[in-house]
Structure 1
Amino acid sequence: MQQAEAVLAAARPSRLYAYLVLSLLSGVRTEEARPLTWDHIFLETEDGVPPHAAAWRSVRKHGETKTRKSRRTIALPQQVVDVLEEHKRWQKQERASKGMEWSPLGRVFTTRSGEPLDAANVRRDFKAIVKKAGLVPEWTPRELRHSFVSLLSDHGIPLERIAQLVGHTGQATTEAVYRKQLRPVITQGAEAMDEIFAQRREMPANEA
């Protein structure tokens, strides 16, 4: 978590900041974040529906997501909503200053001319942010998705629910891919029994 926070702090003045906040706090894949348009982002909602993002497309062939289960609607934490609202205002001002030079695709995350981000754009800018944060160069944007899984697991969110949030076909995939990030809850029963029977051993024989 400290590494992720360091990355966000280093990214704060950059145009990639909102992209990284969304990645860390929602768990979207980088290939799902890049094609997002403002039509996919719902910051103002009604009837008790929370703000959300529709992760229904990716940069894969024909715009398909990795699997059918990857197509999902994700509720957005308030911090993400605040950052995206600020990003949208900033983007509107930038677009107005550039006039007709801006590409009219409606992308949430763009280059300086409003064109879609590609993987090379993200890697280059992220590499500079990681260096500024004092982290090893091997840190990649995918690490934010790993951090998302780790934070949910540490918070006690069930593996099945985490699998749904990250768009996996089943929890076996999540466990295989994010084994190091998942909290090893399988040991809790043994640990509890050790504590229970340790207490019984300490009790006098006539009380046991």
Structure 2
Amino acid sequence: MTVRRSRGEGGLHWDESRQRWIATATIRFDGRGKRITRKASGTTKTAAKAKLREILRDHEDGTTVVPGYYTVRETVHDWLTYGLSGRAPATVKNYTTIAEQHIVGPLGAHKLRDLSADDVDRWLKAESRSVSTRTLRLMHSILSRAVTHAMARDKVKRNVVSVCSPPAGQPGRRSKSLDLAQAGALLDAAEASPLHAYIVLSLLTGARTEELRALRWEDVDLAGQPEASPPTPPSISVVRSVRIGGDTKTRKSRRGHVRRSGV
């Protein structure tokens, strides 16, 4: 004899058209008293029961996550849409390109609830064969932030990406910095140019291009105060450059309103 389940234990029934067992559980009622249910299915009654227990356990834990078909693709797209507010357009474009090419492509079809740390490790290892270490770390950061965004909205219970570490990738592009011989050749070539002082200042101080463009002669102190205690070396006054949002990208890039740089 079939035993009827108690109230709150959910229900199981066979769907002939789908040839699957269907698990149904009532999660709550909306403001109009309409029943809100969660459903899952399995090819066997045992599999359907397991999914029903998972639904009820999530409900009892106070974590009513979205149905299991929510994918990594949807997770990343939601974060790109709502999680980048206030970022510069160039940053949004860069993150979107990396996400579409390196995350949505290989991982997009995965169901978010089924994504495991092993899946993430395999993905990072595969991508490390073709991208630089910096890009690999950015990919890992984007996916982790996207999953955290989903977790805060009860779409998944934990962030498996956060427990994985990206391996070393391919060597990055060669530095474009001048070596000593190249810097000397540049100074010799620019000696007769009206830009000679600008080039000398750029090479010796490391000030940003946008800072040097706004520099005036009154901002330059070629003598300093060697008799002062402590002595003040020759310097330039660098006013913080104007950026979108009035700030630099990272805290380490910040400078005071006026910075004195040795010349």
Tell me: higher relative CO, structure 1 or 2? Use CA pairs within 8 A at least 6 residues apart. 1
Global fold match (TM > 0.5) = no
TM-score normalised over the length of structure 1: 0.31
